[in-house]
Amino acid sequence: MTHSLSPTRVSGGITGNSEHLPEEQRLAPQEFELSVGQIFDRLQTTPEAISNFCHKWQIAELALFGSVLREDFRAEGEDPSDIDVLYLFSAEANYGLEIFEMQEQLETLFDRKVDFVSKKAILNSRNWLRRQNILNSHRIIYHAR
């Protein structure tokens, strides 16, 4: 199995095809853009550390969404931003409570709170606006091949 990281540039903000929605429901694209290097600087880790984590836990795809990709990300201070992480397990993975251990490991790796969210849960969410927001703005930082 080979692993790859995201493309050379990572965009933040909400983008995507929302032309089918009424104008008042469309999500405007953001102009803020981070390079992959800037993303990993914000995470305070390396692509290799992410790859090792994903390989250990049989994660097929790991992505980020939320403020870590936007200008309003707070790296320090009294109320630093958390990191919103979207995961998708490989077909052979079968976990239960170990998800909490995974989240704790990411919190240690990033040195901040992590919201660890299943991509399947988002895909099946009845909240279409939240689903569209996350799926249109997430940026993959690891993909197993």
pLDDT digits (tens, 9 = 90+) for 9-23: 333 333 334 444 455
Q: What is the mean pLDDT of residues 111-133?
A: 96
Domain-embedded: residue 91: yes
CATH number of the domain bearing residue 51: 3.30.460.10
Q: Which of 135, 121, 130, 14 is nearest to 63 (CA)?
A: 135
pLDDT in the model for residue 80: 93
Domains: count for the chain = 1
On average, the pLDDT of the chain sits at 84
Q: How many CB atoms lie within 10 A of CB 79?
A: 7
User: pLDDT value at position 17?
Assistant: 41
Q: Residue 111 sits in which domain range?
A: 3-11+30-144
> 3-class DSSP state for residue 13?
coil
In a domain, 101, yes or no: yes
Give per-residue pLDDT as tens, 19-68: 444 554 444 455 678 999 999 999 999 999 999 999 999 999 999 999 99
Are 33 and 7 contacting, i.e. CB atoms less than 8 angstroms apart?
no
Residue 43 lies in a domain: yes
Q: What is the reported pTM?
A: 0.78
Neighbours of 142 (CB within 10 A): 20
Asked, for residue 25, whether it belongs to a domain, the answer is no
Q: What pLDDT sits at residue 129?
A: 96
Q: Please indicate, yes or no, if residue 117 is contained in any of the structural domains.
A: yes
In the prediction, which pLDDT does 32 show? Answer: 75
